[in-house]
Amino acid sequence: SLVTLGAPLADSSGPAFRGVAWANQEPPPSTVRCLAVGATGTPGGSSGRLTRDAYSFCVDGGDGTKLDGDGVTPTFSALSLPGAETRVLDGVTHFPWGDVPGAGLVAPDLAKEHRAGKPWYGSPSAMEQWADWLHRA
């Protein structure tokens, strides 16, 4: 089984996405169960510079202000694994920003939200929404 949590899976321009384009040349084998998990609740137009720039990086044309996602990866990109089942978690962030020294300098808005209780993909409340998939045959 393969589970992706907020991974940027959609092709985009630029050298950082060459690996994504390479991986997308073929879908995962049909013998591999796949789940692509994305999130909403961190809009690109109102969530700080890191979020806006990260979302813009994931789209041709570079405007991530109208996108929603987990603060790093827009939802559409996180769900772009061919043949995968998908789950969208509302109000979940990409990373435990508030738990890491210096994260407030890199992503002050995301760190503040996490410190205020916003879960990340690995938080128990978020895991309850996707981890059960691993137990299904």
Residues 6 or more apart whose CB falls under 8 angstroms from that of 114 comprise 93, 95, 96, 97, 98, 99, 120
Q: What is the pLDDT of residues 65-98, one digit of tens each?
A: 999 999 999 999 999 999 999 999 999 999 999 8
| 119: amino acid identity, one letter | P
Place of tokens 């998908």: 86
Q: What band does 137 get if pLDDT is binned at 50, 70 and 90? A: low
pTM: 0.93
3-state SS assignment for residue 89: strand
Helix ranges, the chain (H): 18-23, 49-57, 75-78, 103-106, 108-115, 124-127
